[in-house]
Amino acid sequence: MITGRTKLCAVIGDPIEHSLSPCIQNAAFKHLGLDYVYVAFRVRYEDLEWAMRGVRSLGIYGLNVTMPHKIGVIQHLDRLDLEAKLVGAVNTILNDGGVLVGYNTDGLGALKALQEVEGDLRAKKALMIGAGGASRAISFTLAREVRELSILNRTYERAKALAEDVRRTVGGDVRAYRLSDETLRAEMRNTNIIINATPVGMHPNEDETPIPRELLRPDMTVFDLVYNPIETRLLKDAKAVGTKTIDGLTMLVYQGAASFELWTGVKAPVGVMMDAAKEELKRRGVIN
Ligand SMILES: NC(=O)c1ccc[n+]([C@@H]2O[C@H](COP(=O)([O-])OP(=O)(O)OC[C@H]3O[C@@H](n4cnc5c(N)ncnc54)[C@H](OP(=O)(O)O)[C@@H]3O)[C@@H](O)[C@H]2O)c1
């Protein structure tokens, strides 16, 4: 039951109507009997300052931030967690007694999803395709966990700048390459984990894949961040050759689980959150 003591959490973004976060988070609160409720607010780009004043004045306890506010919101916060500072973008805010602290849970969410499948990552080599926002968020976390990280990007300069940033701040064996047939072929040879952090394969280009099927091997894990569709061509190809897979919905749930844990201090019921997301996608006719 919602009472005068119920803690309010929310997601802000534009557009926001299709966000799965309210379903995922409310299912988790309900499952654990926590007195929290989670709603979605459409906040236009130019209204962010007013929305953040509202967060303070209404005492909203936890916030998720999505496009187009992940970078702009930083100037309205009191403190940034190290991860968010490194990445330069925030997706989670905790209102700690009036002090707004910004976090980025994308890296931790991706790491947990990977550890669930791959276990200890210390001996593993990871290959990241893409050097945009999602790649950046994951690279800082992953570089500390794996033996080697290669970042391949269409625009080489972006991969190079990201690899330099990661090496300078968190260290690790991080290399940058221009994305080409040759570099992909060479880098795939001794890779254990592949992450697609590009929109290649996303609706309406569902026939596209960033990695030719013949380069996939059963001893790899393929992680596709794209969640529309959930089973991309890359993941279908990977399953066909017996490769372990992680989809974009899993990433979405794990980063939400990390936000949940920041707000509640309680271990997130990941299975319950995943079921809620799938149920909602079925209701919308997105999956069967
Ligand atoms: N599941 C989740 O929770 C989650 C979270 C975040 C993002 N995502 C997904 O991850 C993907 C990337 O998101 P983002 O926020 O990082 O986007 P972004 O900042 O716009 O970066 C896009 C990246 O993809 C590359 N790229 C774009 N089109 C390409 C193409 N046709 N061929 C090769 N490379 C291409 C870009 O290369 P250039 O630098 O050369 O332009 C850039 O590195 C999106 O599909 C997004 O939906 C999923």
- Same domain as 150, residue 37: no
User: Are 111 and 80 in a shared domain?
Assistant: no
The structure tokens listed for 130 are 């893409």
Q: Are residues 66 and 139 in the same domain?
A: no
1 found inside a domain:
no
* pLDDT tens per residue across span 92-122: 999 999 999 999 999 999 999 999 999 999 9
Q: Same domain for 26 and 87?
A: yes
Measured distance CA(37)–CA(25) in Å, rounded? 8
Identity of the residue numbered 19:
S
26 alpha-carbon distance from chain centroid = 19
- Residue 14: which residues within 8 A CB-CB, separation 6 or more? 42, 43, 44, 45, 67, 68, 69
pLDDT digits (tens, 9 = 90+) for 173-222: 999 999 999 999 999 999 999 999 999 999 999 999 999 999 999 999 99
Q: Considering only CA atoms, which of 178, 115, 112, 165 is closest in space to residue 136?
A: 165
128/210 same-domain check? yes
- From edge to edge, which strands make up the β-sheet containing 221-224? 174-178, 148-153, 125-129, 193-196, 221-224, 244-246
Residue 286 — pLDDT band, cuts 50, 70, 90? Answer: confident
CATH number at residue 210: 3.40.50.720
Q: Is residue 242 assigned to a domain?
A: yes
Query: Quick one: 262 and 199 in the same domain?
Result: no
Q: State the residue range of the domain holding 221.
A: 107-246
Q: Are residues 114 and 231 in the same domain?
A: yes
114 & 226 share domain = yes
CATH of the domain at 60: 3.40.50.10860
Neighbours of 285 (CB within 10 A): 7
Q: Do residues 161 and 201 both lie within one domain?
A: yes
pTM above 0.85, yes or no: yes
**E strands in 104-188:** 125-129, 148-153, 174-178
> Could you read off the pLDDT of 164-177 as tens digits, one per residue?
999 999 999 999 99
The answer as to whether 118 is a domain residue is: yes
Q: What pLDDT digit, counting tens, does each position of 13-35 carry?
A: 999 999 999 999 999 999 999 99
102-137 per-residue burial string, b: 16 or more CB within 10 A, e: under 16: bbbbbbbbbbbbbeeebeebeebbbbbbbbebbbbb
Minimal-distance CA residue to ligand 1 atom 31: 200
Q: Do 94 and 209 share a domain, yes or no?
A: no
**How many structural domains compose the chain?**
2
Ligand 1 centre from 30 Cα, in Å?
33
Pocket test for ligand 1, best of 154, 202, 246 (most atoms within 8 A of CB): 154
Domain assignment of residue 165, yes or no: yes
Residue 2 falls within a domain, yes or no? Answer: no
Closest-lying ligand 1 atom to the alpha carbon of residue 199: 45
Domain contains 197: yes
180 lines ligand 1 (CB under 6 A): no
Q: How far does residue 31's CA lie from ligand 1's centre (Å)?
A: 33
64 lines ligand 1 (CB under 6 A): no
89 and 24 fall within a common domain: yes
Any idea of the CA torsion for 49, 50, 56, 62, to the nearest 10 degrees? -80
User: Tokens representing 93?
Assistant: 């805010």
Are both 117 and 237 inside the same structural domain?
yes
Active-site residue flag, 7: no
Euclidean distance between CA atoms 79 and 107, whole angstroms: 19
What's the CA gap between 104 and 93, in Å, rounded? 9
